[in-house]
Structures are given as structure tokens and as C-alpha cells.
Structure 1
Amino acid sequence: MPRRVITFPCEGATLFGTLDEASGRTGLLIVSGGNEIRIGAHRGMAWLAAQIAAAGYPVLRYDRRGIGDSEGDNGGFEGAGPDLGAALAAFREHGVDRVIGFGNCDAASLLALDGRALDGLILANPWVIEAMDDLPAPAAIRARYAQRLRDPAEWRRLLTGGVDLGKLARGLGRMLPGKDAGGLAQRIAGGLRGFGGPITLLLAERDNTAIAFADAWRGKAFDAVRDRARIERLPSASHSFASAEDQLWLREKVLAALV
């Protein structure tokens, strides 16, 4: 199917996007995570867009302000609500009636916070980790230590001085109750409570970001959302669904959410 570059305005800046055209009236809007350009990690988003368009759904990817080809200043994912709105408006101008948003990591968080104008959400490994120090989220630390406690080699490392006791102590401190549900998780829960469309969550079970989100998802903040969302779990540690098997799984789950 045809693939072409488009431009559209956002608060005085020009944003660049890539449109994979198809005949369907339901489209997929892909939001890049972190500071990735629209091609995605390992070209993963470009590959996914081609696959989805081949199945009959048009796909738009874009660079937010200050990233890749787009003008302006990079305000991070929490400042990218206007960019999301501009991309959605541009997509609808190209003949799409129904738009489902897809994002991984903090792009998923952006969609949860600012995606109410979309018709559905596909959120992969949403970012809920508060920036505190260089340690992983408490839920990820608990999962890692639980795995290590079952490994005799780790006990030998501890007894022979092969473990950084200072880092161990800091990690144990982060595991204390009440450390997980930070303000970002609360705000994401609030955004999802106000969203009226279908919600699909895609979690790579051994990825630290997904582990942290799964832990927050069990909290009270998400009580009103839990029954409305469909969760799909992949037994993988790849945050970006990098392997061929992970990519095919991602394609299958995204297509299922577009129907």
C-alpha cells in the first residue's frame, strides 16, 4: 500500500508524519515513546504500520515537537498532548472516521492522560514509574529478588561478597509497602476513568516497566477501570517487542483491537 510523508501544524510548529494508506475507515494512530522518532525502536513501528495497512487499516505515525523531522521544542511525553491532538485532526482529514491510538511506554501513558478524543486505546507497557533514583520500580525489584532467591548461585554470591550490600539495602527499602502508587499512576487511572471507548493493555510480563504497571493496576485507583479493559500478556522481557515472535504477537493483538 502507498506510504507517504505528510506535515501538519501544532501550536506554530510543523510536525512530520508518515501515512500508510489503506481502504478502511478505521485507522491506527501510532504514538512514539521516549524520544524515539516515528520509525520506532528496531524499525518496529514502521514494520507494524506496514503490517496493519496491509490488513486494510490506514496508519499514521508522527514525530512530536522537537523530535526527528518536526519543529519546536521537545517537552517530553507530558507536554505532548497538543501534538497528539494535532496528529489526530490531521488523520481525520485524510478520510478516517474511527481512530484507535497505540503507544508503548510513556506514549501509552500520554494516550491514557490525553487520548479522550480517540475511539479506542491500545496501551503497551504503560509508564507509571516516578523518577526517584537509579533503581527500578518497587514491583520490578520484588520480582527480581523473588527470582534470585530461587537461584543457589545468588546465595553463593551473597556469602562470598559478590553482592553490593549498599545497593541491596536501597533496593530492599524501595520494596516497602506504599512505594508504588505514585502521582503518575493516579493520573493515568483518572484519565482512563474518563475515557469512554475500549481499552486494550499489552504487557510484556518480564519487562520492568510492565511489571511496575501491573502492580499499580491492582491498586484502588484502577478499580473503576479494571472491568472495562482487556489485558493481553506476553511471556517476554522485551520492552519494545523486538523479536520476530514478539512482533507477530503484537501485530495479532493490535489487529484484534481494531475490529
Structure 2
Amino acid sequence: MSPPVQTHQDADTAQGFWFGDADTPLFGWYHPAQGAIRNSGVILCPPFGHEYMVSYRSYKHLAMRLARAGFPVCFFDYDASGDSADSDTARVTSWRKNIKQAAEQLRRLSGVAQVSLFGMRLGALLAAAVADDLSAPALILFAPVVSGRAYVRELIVLRGMHSIPPSDHPQQQISDDELTGYAFDARTRTELGQLDLLKIAAPQAATMIVARDDISGQEAKLANAWHLDHRAIHLSDSSGYAAMMTEDAHESVVPHTVWNDISEWLCSQIPHKKLRPEPAVIRRGDAALSIQAPLAKHCRLPYATSILEEEIVSFAGMHGIVCRLRPAHPASNIPDNKLSARPAIILTNVGANHRVGNHRLYVKLARRLAAQGFTVLRFDKRGIGYSLPTPAGLENDVHSPSGIDDIRSAMKFLEESYDAQQFVLGGICSGAYLSYLTAVHDERVTGLVLMNQLTFHWRHGDVIQTKKASTLKSTQFYWRAASAGDTWRRMLRGKIALRRIVGNLSKRLSRQVISSVRHSLARFMKTHHLLGRVARNFRAMQARGVELLFIFGENDSSIDLMTQHLGANAHLLPDRDGIHIEVIRHVDHTFTPMWSQEYLTDMLASHLEKRFPE
């Protein structure tokens, strides 16, 4: 079975919206039913943390498939996750409430009286916990967390397996209340420990359980336990879970076989409506779409002493969220598009992760910078998130050259809709790469924030997995490691790829020597034309007055990349006043520890405040 392709119609019909409590709004995607509507909508309950990030694209494809089958669908973010607002409510209590709020909203939008539930991992546990409260006619659990207590233990073990170098500084510790960059406090752990599907009666809903295919789980045990109370239990062993739940979202494979089985089973349980609701039916192409209530595109968020406005925006086939400062009182007479004369900030995707960024870092950055008076757009370039595929029809094409056009389209949109005149572009890794390329030729860019950029040249045919396999830590990391006795013991046991490390370090050294020779010749001959292309590009940007901020993890090989092209501490660039280099110790490539996220946010906010005063 060939996987379905995302069409313009699919992207056009899915609509982002805000719902829930006014002070802590939730973000969701509404997929109206296409064709004849069925008697139930479907709520997609996401998993937690890293599992949410890598499964995001797969959830989108499931939502589109179910909508094509006649189900109105809502895929949403829990409180304090994804694009949603943050609250101080106990997480698990809040997340169960959020599912009920999403169900109420889906009924209002679609006109259906019933709402079925789908969940994966933690989302499955939460869905099962509220299914009877919602009188759900159908319940689908994919690789469900059966015991909340066992799940907490599993995550705590996972936390201890990180490779982030330890720090002796008391403010640089990974606390017990975080997990791979996400808040995971004692109250959340306690609440989860109280949930156990084997200790509750089987939900009244017709139930489908899909087993994971990587390890032996408890799905069969759960099906047998519930079968004693409830005969409508369907256990599936369709494969696809392991290929979806990868380390990196770029490598995640949509489980089309599983999604097809779920769609067919759900269609067998939920018939079509006899009559479609008449009001507010709109048509796009051949699809009849029912939207019976307005979709909220704006929300206001209390943030410290400020009020922020977040607006869901669409342009050139792409989707994003604009965050900016709003007056606390609506009586202000300041025009909407004149709230700040500062440059607008655009945050570009980290790899194949959608616009919230790893560990929600982009959400935190956007809200912090907006509170300082900047207009901030975090958006999904083509091929990522809910944006259309690239011009080549691809998803997850992280380094596609069309990304440059996407950023320029975002700049044009901000010019026309928010009166932005200048721009600061920023991102991590591939987001830094595309920001750099855009800034080289676009004079509207007045600032660059490049975080752990791993390449300045991406050639057609390059493969991310190959690049990652050949990417090492910083040279300084290996010098420090060479003085540690454990390093030599691991090398003698064959646990260190010494030949590959030495080979790559030799290449680094030779490139840095070539760069130094070029620099010496350029100084002797008083011309910059002998410098490499990257150095010339940065010099040209400096001549335009572009403010440059480089941010590196101490052990990240991006430091050596800068040294190779720009010299140590970027000494090949003449204007030192326009350059700031920040090296952060004890972090990984995506700034996972929560203390480092706070440090990075504070540092970036301070830098931009200084460089671009009101």
C-alpha cells in the first residue's frame, strides 16, 4: 500500500485555532470532515516530551486520513506543551481537563454529538482515563502506557542515560524535576503513578489496542484484562511504532499501515450521519466542510508584567505564530502595526522539528523577546509541520534550498502585515544554516543569531545521517578527554572509533592551516579576495552593519567549523564591535538542560536589547 500524499486540499482545510480558558489558551488543529460526515469526531491525544516531537508529523497524517474518511478531527497541544500557554495547574489533572475541553470544542466546531479518542503512549493512558467521562463511542490506544508508575521509572532511567557533561556549578545541574529538557516535577510524577489501566474497569467504548513492535509491551495483558469486562476489544500487531519513534524527527517514518488499520477499524465502528448539518457548510474543491463556530486566531497571554498577543498566521503555503507585546488595556491608541520600531525576529526550524523547537525552546524565546518589544515569528518552512511540502513535493527536507525562499516569504509577510522594516534571523543547526544563507543576499537582515551551526555548504545528495556519523565533538573536547584515564581504558576495549576520530581531526587541522595561510596572504597582499567564501560573506554582511551573534556549546563541533572558516574567535572578521561569541559549557547540541535554556534565553534577550534598543 503506497502512503497517501499530503495535498493542497489537506493543508488548506486544516486550520489552527485557540480554545480553552482565556488566560491559558490551548492550541489545536481542526481538520473538518471531508465528504459525508460520520457520527463521531476524533480527538488526537499526543504523547509527552521527545515522543511528542518525533511523532508530530505522523499525527498530522493520521488526522488528514481520518478527515478524508469523514471524521472531524482535533489534534491539540496540552497545557504547557507545544504552542499552548503555560499554567500552574497540576499537569496530569490539567491534561485530562484539556482532552475534555478539546472534545467540547470539536463538538461545537463540527456539530457532532459524540467524540472518539486516539492516544499514543502517555496520550493513550490519558485518553483511556477520560473515555467514560466523555461517553466516547470508540477508543484507540497505540503502544499505551499501561502503568503510570512504571512509566515514571522508565523516564527516570532515561534521564540518567544522557551524555551531557556534568558540571560542578550549583546552577548548572540537571534537576530531578526535568526530563530531556521538559518539566517533570514531583507532582506530575505522583499523579502519573496513580494511573494504571490494569486497575480500572474497561471503558465502555469499543476499543482498539495497537501493540508496539520494538519490545514486548503489556498490550496483550491489557486486552485480556479488559476482555473479561468488555467484549469489544480489538488487538492489532501492525508494525510501524519503532520506525516512527526515532532519536531524530528527521528519521521518523509515518506508520501508514497502522494509520490505515485504525481508519478502517474506526469506520467499521462509526457510521455516517444520515443528514449533514446545514449551517456554515463551506466548499473547497470537491470537499464539503462543516465549520459551525468561528475559529479563534488570536489569543492573549499574561507574561510576567506584560500581556502578549499570539496570532496564528498563514502565508505562501506555510503556517506560523506571531508573538508580540500588546498593551494591557485595549483603550490604547497605538496602531497595531506600530507597537515597536525594533527589527522583527524570525526563528527558523531546528532540523525537522516543527516551530516550537526542541524542548519548546523557540516558544520560550519568542515569548521572552516579545515581552521586550520585539515582534517574533516562529514558523514552519515548507516540508515541516503543517506547511505544504517543498516545491519538490518532499517533507522533512531539512536543508532544501527552498528554505531561503521560505524565510524571504516570511519577511515579506511581516513587512506587509506588521510593518516590519528590518529583521533578525536565528536558529539552531539547520535553522542557523538557512538564516545565514538568507542574510548573505538580503539587505533587510540586520542581525544574525547562529546557534551550533554545523555546515556552511550543503550539497545536493548530502545525507543527514552520513553527516551526523562524521560529525565529531569539538577539538577541545578531545584534548580534554585524552587526559582522562577512562578514555584510554575505553579505547583499549575498542569502544572508541579511534581511526575515524583521528582521521576527522586531521582534516580539521588541515583546513584550519589552509585558512590561516589564506589569512596571512590576504593581510600581506592587502586584499580579502584570498579569503574563503564564508569569510568573504561575513565580511560583506559586516560592511552592511549586520550584528552577528555566534552561540556554541563548548563541546560542539560547530566551534571548529567557525575556526575553519573565520579563524579562532572569528579573528578573520575585522569589525569586532559587531561580533559577539558566546560559548556555553555543559550543554548538548540543542541545549537540553533546563538551566541552559534559561541561560540562553536571558543571554539572547540581553544581547538583542543592547544591540537594538527601542
Where on the TM-score scale, by shorter chain, does this alignment land: which range? 0.7 to 0.9
- Is residue 60 of structure 1 aligned with residue 60 of structure 2? no
Structure ID, larger Rg: 2
Hey, what's the Cα distance between the residues in 1 that align with 2:366 and 2:549? 18
Structure 1 counterpart of 2:494, which letter?
V
Match of 1:25 in 2: 341
Residue aligned with 1:84, SS: helix
Residue aligned with 1:43, SS: helix
Give the CA deviation at 1:186. Answer: 4.8
Listed as ranges, the matches of 1:1-259 within 5 Å are: 1-9=308-316, 14-22=317-325, 23-26=339-342, 27-73=344-390, 74=394, 75-79=397-401, 80-93=403-416, 94-115=418-439, 116=442, 117-128=444-455, 134-137=469-472, 140=473, 142-158=475-491, 161-164=492-495, 167-176=497-506, 177-179=509-511, 186-195=532-541, 196=544, 197-218=546-567, 223-224=572-573, 227=576, 228-255=578-605, 256-258=607-609, 259=612
Whether contact under 8 Å (1:112, 1:192) holds in the other structure is no
Give the CA deviation at 1:141. Answer: 6.0
Between stretches 28-37 and 59-68, larger displacement belongs to: 28-37
- Alpha-carbon deviations, 1:159-212, whole Å to 9, x = none? xx41257x3122212222325689xx9554343222221111112212233444
Give the CA deviation at 1:4. Answer: 1.5
Whether contact under 8 Å (1:128, 1:213) holds in the other structure is no
Hey, what's the Cα distance between the residues in 2 that align with 1:107 and 1:71? 18
Structure 1 counterpart of 2:580, which letter?
R
Hey, what's the Cα distance between the residues in 2 that align with 1:92 and 1:7? 14
Q: Give me the TM-score of the superposition, normalised by structure 2.
A: 0.37
Hey, what's the Cα distance between the residues in 1 that align with 2:575 and 2:428? 19
- Alpha-carbon deviations, 1:52-72, whole Å to 9, x = none? 112221110111111101112
User: In angstroms, what is the RMSD of aligned CA positions?
Assistant: 2.9
Q: Give me the TM-score of the superposition, normalised by structure 1.
A: 0.83
Residue aligned with 1:28, SS: strand
Q: Which has the higher contact order (CA 8 A, sep 6+)?
A: 1
Between stretches 208-217 and 240-249, larger displacement belongs to: 208-217
Hey, what's the Cα distance between the residues in 2 that align with 1:157 and 1:204? 24
Identical positions, percent: 21
- Alpha-carbon deviations, 1:44-87, whole Å to 9, x = none? 10111111112221110111111101112254335111001001
Residue aligned with 1:156, SS: helix
Structure 2 counterpart of 1:249, which letter?
Y
- Flag structure 2 segments of 5+ consecutive residues without an equivalent: 1-307, 326-338, 516-530
